[in-house]
Amino acid sequence: MAEEHYLELSENPVQFEHASSVNNVFFDEANKQVFAVRSGGATGVVVKGPDDKSSVAFRMDDKGEVKCIKFSIGNKILAVQRTSKSVAPPDVSAAPQTRNASILGFCWTSWNEIVFITDQGVEFYQVFPDKRNLKLLKSQSINVNWYQYCPETAVILLSTTVQGNVLQPLAFKNGNVSKMSKFEIELPVIPKPAKLSLSERDVAMATIYGQLYVMYLKHHSRTANSPGAEVVLYHLPREGPCKKSHVLKLNTTGKFALNIVDNLVVVHHQSSQTSLIFDIRLKEPDCSVNTQQPVLPARSIHPYRIPLTTVTEESPALNAAVPPPYSRWQYTLH
Protein backbone atom coordinates (compact mmCIF):
# COMPACT_ATOMS: atom_id res chain seq x y z
CA MET A 1 0.00 0.00 0.00
CA ALA A 2 1.42 3.38 -1.00
CA GLU A 3 2.11 5.84 1.78
CA GLU A 4 -0.47 8.63 2.06
CA HIS A 5 0.45 12.33 2.11
CA TYR A 6 -1.61 15.41 2.97
CA LEU A 7 0.90 18.03 1.84
CA GLU A 8 3.13 18.57 -1.16
CA LEU A 9 5.49 21.29 -2.33
CA SER A 10 4.75 23.56 -5.28
CA GLU A 11 5.63 22.19 -8.69
CA ASN A 12 7.56 25.42 -9.33
CA PRO A 13 9.59 26.10 -6.16
CA VAL A 14 11.68 29.25 -5.83
CA GLN A 15 15.34 28.25 -6.21
CA PHE A 16 18.30 30.27 -4.98
CA GLU A 17 21.94 29.85 -4.05
CA HIS A 18 22.33 28.41 -0.56
CA ALA A 19 23.70 30.45 2.34
CA SER A 20 27.47 30.30 2.68
CA SER A 21 30.48 32.35 3.78
CA VAL A 22 30.11 34.53 0.66
CA ASN A 23 26.35 34.36 0.13
CA ASN A 24 23.67 35.64 2.54
CA VAL A 25 20.03 34.68 2.07
CA PHE A 26 17.04 36.75 3.29
CA PHE A 27 13.28 36.29 3.01
CA ASP A 28 10.87 39.24 2.89
CA GLU A 29 7.48 38.04 4.11
CA ALA A 30 5.63 41.14 2.83
CA ASN A 31 6.63 40.80 -0.83
CA LYS A 32 7.28 37.01 -0.66
CA GLN A 33 10.78 37.58 -2.03
CA VAL A 34 14.04 35.69 -1.46
CA PHE A 35 17.24 37.77 -1.60
CA ALA A 36 20.57 36.08 -2.29
CA VAL A 37 23.36 38.60 -1.61
CA ARG A 38 26.88 37.64 -2.70
CA SER A 39 29.89 39.42 -1.19
CA GLY A 40 27.84 42.25 0.28
CA GLY A 41 26.22 42.80 -3.13
CA ALA A 42 29.47 43.42 -5.02
CA THR A 43 29.19 40.20 -7.03
CA GLY A 44 25.43 40.27 -7.30
CA VAL A 45 22.04 40.44 -5.60
CA VAL A 46 19.43 38.06 -6.97
CA VAL A 47 15.81 38.65 -5.92
CA LYS A 48 13.23 35.95 -6.62
CA GLY A 49 9.52 36.23 -6.03
CA PRO A 50 6.77 33.59 -6.11
CA ASP A 51 7.39 33.06 -9.85
CA ASP A 52 10.32 33.53 -12.21
CA LYS A 53 8.69 36.55 -13.86
CA SER A 54 9.22 38.59 -10.68
CA SER A 55 12.97 37.90 -10.50
CA VAL A 56 15.52 40.72 -10.72
CA ALA A 57 19.29 40.85 -10.39
CA PHE A 58 21.72 43.73 -9.82
CA ARG A 59 24.95 44.73 -8.11
CA MET A 60 25.66 46.98 -5.11
CA ASP A 61 28.86 48.46 -3.73
CA ASP A 62 30.29 46.23 -1.02
CA LYS A 63 30.08 48.39 2.12
CA GLY A 64 30.03 45.54 4.60
CA GLU A 65 27.89 42.61 5.57
CA VAL A 66 24.17 42.96 4.81
CA LYS A 67 21.98 42.39 7.87
CA CYS A 68 18.61 43.06 6.23
CA ILE A 69 17.43 43.96 2.72
CA LYS A 70 13.86 44.63 1.51
CA PHE A 71 11.94 46.36 -1.25
CA SER A 72 9.00 48.55 -0.34
CA ILE A 73 5.53 47.33 -1.31
CA GLY A 74 5.43 47.27 -5.10
CA ASN A 75 9.26 47.22 -5.38
CA LYS A 76 9.51 51.02 -5.54
CA ILE A 77 12.32 51.62 -3.03
CA LEU A 78 15.18 49.41 -1.85
CA ALA A 79 16.45 49.61 1.73
CA VAL A 80 19.56 47.84 3.02
CA GLN A 81 20.75 47.56 6.63
CA ARG A 82 24.47 46.86 7.13
CA THR A 83 25.04 48.03 10.71
CA SER A 84 23.05 48.52 13.89
CA LYS A 85 23.19 52.30 13.34
CA SER A 86 22.07 52.88 9.76
CA VAL A 87 20.02 51.76 6.79
CA ALA A 88 21.55 52.56 3.39
CA PRO A 89 22.56 53.08 0.47
CA PRO A 90 23.70 56.64 1.18
CA ASP A 91 21.61 59.01 -0.90
CA VAL A 92 19.68 60.57 1.97
CA SER A 93 20.56 60.99 5.65
CA ALA A 94 18.02 61.44 8.44
CA ALA A 95 18.67 61.94 12.15
CA PRO A 96 16.11 60.01 14.22
CA GLN A 97 14.58 61.02 17.52
CA THR A 98 16.19 58.17 19.45
CA ARG A 99 19.90 58.48 20.13
CA ASN A 100 22.36 55.77 21.22
CA ALA A 101 19.96 53.08 20.04
CA SER A 102 20.60 49.98 17.92
CA ILE A 103 18.42 49.14 14.92
CA LEU A 104 16.89 45.69 15.25
CA GLY A 105 15.28 45.83 11.82
CA PHE A 106 12.73 47.61 9.64
CA CYS A 107 9.35 46.96 7.98
CA TRP A 108 7.74 48.56 4.94
CA THR A 109 4.02 49.17 5.60
CA SER A 110 3.35 50.71 2.15
CA TRP A 111 5.32 51.75 -0.92
CA ASN A 112 6.60 54.90 0.87
CA GLU A 113 6.09 54.27 4.61
CA ILE A 114 8.64 52.47 6.74
CA VAL A 115 8.99 51.55 10.41
CA PHE A 116 12.37 51.27 12.12
CA ILE A 117 12.47 49.09 15.22
CA THR A 118 15.29 49.80 17.66
CA ASP A 119 16.07 48.46 21.10
CA GLN A 120 14.57 51.71 22.47
CA GLY A 121 11.35 51.90 20.47
CA VAL A 122 9.88 52.40 17.00
CA GLU A 123 9.96 55.28 14.53
CA PHE A 124 7.43 55.55 11.69
CA TYR A 125 8.50 57.53 8.60
CA GLN A 126 7.14 58.62 5.26
CA VAL A 127 9.74 58.40 2.50
CA PHE A 128 10.04 60.99 -0.30
CA PRO A 129 12.43 59.32 -2.78
CA ASP A 130 12.39 62.21 -5.28
CA LYS A 131 13.29 64.74 -2.60
CA ARG A 132 15.65 62.27 -0.89
CA ASN A 133 14.30 62.86 2.59
CA LEU A 134 12.12 61.36 5.29
CA LYS A 135 9.28 62.75 7.40
CA LEU A 136 8.79 61.44 10.93
CA LEU A 137 5.12 60.52 11.35
CA LYS A 138 5.21 58.96 14.82
CA SER A 139 7.67 57.63 17.38
CA GLN A 140 7.14 55.39 20.38
CA SER A 141 9.67 54.91 23.19
CA ILE A 142 9.72 51.41 24.65
CA ASN A 143 12.43 48.89 25.51
CA VAL A 144 12.38 46.19 22.81
CA ASN A 145 14.00 42.72 22.88
CA TRP A 146 12.80 41.55 19.46
CA TYR A 147 9.86 42.02 17.12
CA GLN A 148 7.56 40.18 14.72
CA TYR A 149 5.66 41.65 11.75
CA CYS A 150 2.43 40.48 10.10
CA PRO A 151 2.28 42.11 6.62
CA GLU A 152 -1.34 41.07 5.98
CA THR A 153 -2.52 43.23 8.89
CA ALA A 154 0.44 45.67 9.13
CA VAL A 155 0.80 44.83 12.85
CA ILE A 156 4.18 44.83 14.58
CA LEU A 157 4.55 42.83 17.80
CA LEU A 158 7.18 44.07 20.25
CA SER A 159 8.72 41.89 22.97
CA THR A 160 9.21 43.95 26.16
CA THR A 161 10.28 43.52 29.82
CA VAL A 162 13.28 41.58 31.09
CA GLN A 163 11.71 38.16 30.46
CA GLY A 164 10.42 39.27 27.06
CA ASN A 165 6.95 37.78 27.55
CA VAL A 166 4.96 41.03 27.70
CA LEU A 167 4.03 41.77 24.09
CA GLN A 168 2.95 45.17 22.73
CA PRO A 169 1.21 45.15 19.32
CA LEU A 170 1.18 48.28 17.12
CA ALA A 171 -1.07 48.66 14.07
CA PHE A 172 -0.06 50.82 11.08
CA LYS A 173 -2.41 52.21 8.42
CA ASN A 174 -2.37 55.22 6.07
CA GLY A 175 0.29 57.16 7.97
CA ASN A 176 -1.23 56.40 11.37
CA VAL A 177 -0.14 54.07 14.16
CA SER A 178 -2.38 52.81 16.96
CA LYS A 179 -1.46 51.00 20.16
CA MET A 180 -3.32 47.74 20.61
CA SER A 181 -3.82 46.08 23.99
CA LYS A 182 -0.61 44.59 25.33
CA PHE A 183 -0.71 41.10 26.80
CA GLU A 184 1.44 38.58 28.61
CA ILE A 185 2.53 35.14 27.39
CA GLU A 186 2.34 32.55 30.17
CA LEU A 187 5.79 30.99 30.60
CA PRO A 188 6.12 27.38 31.78
CA VAL A 189 8.95 28.37 34.17
CA ILE A 190 9.73 31.77 35.72
CA PRO A 191 13.53 32.10 35.92
CA LYS A 192 15.28 33.55 38.96
CA PRO A 193 17.00 35.90 38.53
CA ALA A 194 14.84 37.20 35.70
CA LYS A 195 16.28 36.89 32.19
CA LEU A 196 15.03 36.84 28.60
CA SER A 197 12.96 33.67 28.40
CA LEU A 198 10.64 34.11 25.41
CA SER A 199 12.48 33.72 22.10
CA GLU A 200 11.51 35.28 18.77
CA ARG A 201 11.73 31.78 17.28
CA ASP A 202 8.92 30.55 19.54
CA VAL A 203 6.39 33.20 18.45
CA ALA A 204 4.62 33.78 15.13
CA MET A 205 1.69 35.86 13.90
CA ALA A 206 -0.88 34.72 11.36
CA THR A 207 -4.30 35.54 9.98
CA ILE A 208 -6.61 32.54 10.39
CA TYR A 209 -10.22 32.68 9.21
CA GLY A 210 -9.87 36.46 8.88
CA GLN A 211 -8.68 36.98 12.47
CA LEU A 212 -5.18 37.84 13.73
CA TYR A 213 -3.57 35.35 16.11
CA VAL A 214 -0.27 35.24 17.99
CA MET A 215 1.02 31.65 18.10
CA TYR A 216 3.35 30.61 20.91
CA LEU A 217 5.27 27.35 20.65
CA LYS A 218 5.35 26.19 24.26
CA HIS A 219 8.00 23.56 24.98
CA HIS A 220 7.44 20.93 27.66
CA SER A 221 9.51 17.96 28.72
CA ARG A 222 7.53 14.82 27.98
CA THR A 223 6.44 13.40 31.34
CA ALA A 224 3.47 11.58 32.82
CA ASN A 225 1.86 14.96 33.57
CA SER A 226 2.75 16.53 30.23
CA PRO A 227 2.56 14.64 26.92
CA GLY A 228 4.79 17.17 25.16
CA ALA A 229 4.92 20.55 23.50
CA GLU A 230 1.88 22.59 22.51
CA VAL A 231 1.02 25.64 20.42
CA VAL A 232 -0.93 28.30 22.31
CA LEU A 233 -3.00 30.71 20.22
CA TYR A 234 -3.85 34.22 21.43
CA HIS A 235 -6.61 36.02 19.54
CA LEU A 236 -5.53 39.62 18.88
CA PRO A 237 -8.48 41.87 17.88
CA ARG A 238 -8.04 45.42 16.60
CA GLU A 239 -9.93 46.68 19.63
CA GLY A 240 -10.31 45.07 23.02
CA PRO A 241 -8.08 42.73 25.04
CA CYS A 242 -6.04 39.86 23.64
CA LYS A 243 -7.22 36.49 24.94
CA LYS A 244 -5.84 32.96 24.92
CA SER A 245 -8.22 31.05 22.68
CA HIS A 246 -6.73 27.69 21.66
CA VAL A 247 -4.17 25.13 22.83
CA LEU A 248 -2.96 22.72 20.15
CA LYS A 249 -1.56 19.50 21.61
CA LEU A 250 1.49 18.20 19.73
CA ASN A 251 1.97 15.05 21.87
CA THR A 252 5.71 15.03 21.28
CA THR A 253 8.85 17.07 21.90
CA GLY A 254 11.66 18.43 19.77
CA LYS A 255 12.02 21.17 17.16
CA PHE A 256 9.03 22.44 15.20
CA ALA A 257 8.08 24.88 12.45
CA LEU A 258 4.68 26.50 11.89
CA ASN A 259 2.72 27.22 8.70
CA ILE A 260 -0.80 28.35 7.87
CA VAL A 261 -2.27 26.61 4.81
CA ASP A 262 -5.89 27.34 3.82
CA ASN A 263 -6.63 28.50 7.41
CA LEU A 264 -5.27 25.25 8.84
CA VAL A 265 -2.41 25.36 11.34
CA VAL A 266 0.32 22.99 10.13
CA VAL A 267 3.06 22.05 12.61
CA HIS A 268 6.15 20.38 11.16
CA HIS A 269 8.10 18.10 13.52
CA GLN A 270 11.77 17.96 12.56
CA SER A 271 12.99 14.64 14.00
CA SER A 272 10.06 12.51 12.76
CA GLN A 273 9.82 14.45 9.47
CA THR A 274 6.05 14.58 9.81
CA SER A 275 3.42 17.33 9.87
CA LEU A 276 0.40 17.77 12.15
CA ILE A 277 -2.76 19.56 10.98
CA PHE A 278 -5.15 21.52 13.22
CA ASP A 279 -8.42 23.29 12.43
CA ILE A 280 -9.25 25.89 15.07
CA ARG A 281 -12.87 26.08 13.90
CA LEU A 282 -13.46 22.69 15.49
CA LYS A 283 -14.63 23.85 18.93
CA GLU A 284 -15.31 22.14 22.21
CA PRO A 285 -18.68 23.07 23.71
CA ASP A 286 -18.82 25.79 26.38
CA CYS A 287 -15.04 26.16 26.62
CA SER A 288 -13.29 29.54 26.77
CA VAL A 289 -9.94 27.99 25.80
CA ASN A 290 -10.31 25.30 23.14
CA THR A 291 -7.89 22.38 23.58
CA GLN A 292 -7.41 20.49 20.33
CA GLN A 293 -5.73 17.39 18.97
CA PRO A 294 -4.60 17.00 15.34
CA VAL A 295 -7.51 16.42 12.96
CA LEU A 296 -5.54 13.71 11.11
CA PRO A 297 -2.65 11.35 11.92
CA ALA A 298 0.83 12.77 11.37
CA ARG A 299 2.16 12.35 7.83
CA SER A 300 5.29 13.34 5.91
CA ILE A 301 5.23 15.87 3.08
CA HIS A 302 5.11 14.18 -0.32
CA PRO A 303 8.69 13.53 -1.51
CA TYR A 304 9.90 15.95 -4.17
CA ARG A 305 13.20 16.03 -6.02
CA ILE A 306 14.41 19.59 -6.63
CA PRO A 307 16.83 19.90 -9.57
CA LEU A 308 20.03 21.73 -8.71
CA THR A 309 20.80 25.03 -10.43
CA THR A 310 23.74 27.38 -10.07
CA VAL A 311 23.65 31.18 -9.93
CA THR A 312 26.82 32.57 -11.48
CA GLU A 313 28.14 36.09 -11.31
CA GLU A 314 28.73 36.03 -15.08
CA SER A 315 24.98 36.41 -15.61
CA PRO A 316 24.34 39.47 -17.86
CA ALA A 317 21.62 40.65 -15.50
CA LEU A 318 24.24 41.29 -12.81
CA ASN A 319 26.35 43.75 -14.78
CA ALA A 320 24.48 46.89 -13.64
CA ALA A 321 24.14 48.69 -10.34
CA VAL A 322 20.72 49.03 -8.71
CA PRO A 323 18.51 49.70 -11.76
CA PRO A 324 15.69 52.24 -12.05
CA PRO A 325 13.03 52.72 -10.85
CA TYR A 326 14.45 51.61 -7.48
CA SER A 327 15.30 54.58 -5.25
CA ARG A 328 17.97 54.54 -2.56
CA TRP A 329 18.40 56.57 0.64
CA GLN A 330 19.91 56.36 4.11
CA TYR A 331 18.64 56.46 7.71
CA THR A 332 21.31 56.92 10.37
CA LEU A 333 21.33 56.77 14.16
CA HIS A 334 23.61 59.34 15.83
Q: How confident is the model at residue 303 (pLDDT cuts 50, 70, 90)?
A: confident
Residues 296 and 224 in one domain: yes
Residues 127 and 195 in one domain: no
Q: Does residue 23 or residue 318 have the better pLDDT? A: 23
Residues 18-39 have a mean pLDDT of: 94
For residue 66, being part of any structural domain is answered with: yes
For residue 179, being part of any structural domain is answered with: no
Residues 102 and 194 in one domain: no
For residue 37, being part of any structural domain is answered with: yes
Residues 229-243 have a mean pLDDT of: 95
The number of angstroms, rounded, from the C-alpha of 10 to the middle of its chain's C-alpha atoms is 21
Residues 191 and 132 in one domain: no
The CATH number for 124's domain is 2.130.10.10
Question: Is the torsion defined by CA of 255, 32, 169, 120 positive or negative?
Answer: positive
Per the CB < 8 A criterion, the answer to whether 42 and 60 are in contact is yes
Q: What is the per-residue pLDDT for 13?
A: 82
Residues 12-30 have a mean pLDDT of: 91
Residues 129 and 68 in one domain: yes
For residue 212, being part of any structural domain is answered with: yes
Residues 229-255 have a mean pLDDT of: 94
Q: Which residues contact 28 (CB under 8 A, 6 or more apart)?
A: 34, 35, 69, 70, 71
For residue 197, being part of any structural domain is answered with: yes
For residue 8, being part of any structural domain is answered with: no
Q: What is the C-alpha to C-alpha distance for residues 164 and 187, in angstroms, rounded to an integer?
A: 10
For residue 195, what are the β-bridge partners? Answer: none
Residues 131 and 196 in one domain: no
Q: How confident is the model at residue 313 (pLDDT cuts 50, 70, 90)?
A: very low
For residue 254, being part of any structural domain is answered with: yes
SS3 content of the chain, % helix, strand, coil (to 5): 5, 40, 55
- The overall average pLDDT reported for the chain is 86
Q: What is the per-residue pLDDT for 226?
A: 65
Residue 10 amino acid letter: S
Q: What is the per-residue pLDDT for 2?
A: 53
Is the per-residue pLDDT at 236 higher than 60?
A: yes
Question: In this structure, are strands 331-332 and 155-160 parallel, antiparallel, or unpaired?
Answer: unpaired
Q: Domain end: 94, 116, 144, which one? A: 144
Residues 130 and 43 in one domain: yes
Residues 126 and 192 in one domain: no
Q: What is the per-residue pLDDT for 223?
A: 59
Q: Does residue 247 or residue 321 have the better pLDDT? A: 247
Task: For 126-171, give the DSSP string.
Answer: EEETTTTEEEEEEEEE---S-EEEETTTTEEEEEESSSS-EEEEEE
- Three-state DSSP at 181 gives coil
Number of domains forming the structure of the chain? 2
Q: What is the per-residue pLDDT for 332?
A: 57
Q: How confident is the model at residue 16 (pLDDT cuts 50, 70, 90)?
A: confident
Residues 191 and 274 in one domain: yes
Q: Which domain holds residue 205?
A: 186-305
Residues 34 and 128 in one domain: yes
Q: Which has the closest alpha carbon to 272: 253, 296, 245?
A: 253
Residues 282-293 have a mean pLDDT of: 83
Residues 207 and 296 in one domain: yes
Residue pLDDT, tens place only, 100-135: 899 999 999 999 999 999 999 999 999 988 887 889
Q: How confident is the model at residue 194 (pLDDT cuts 50, 70, 90)?
A: confident
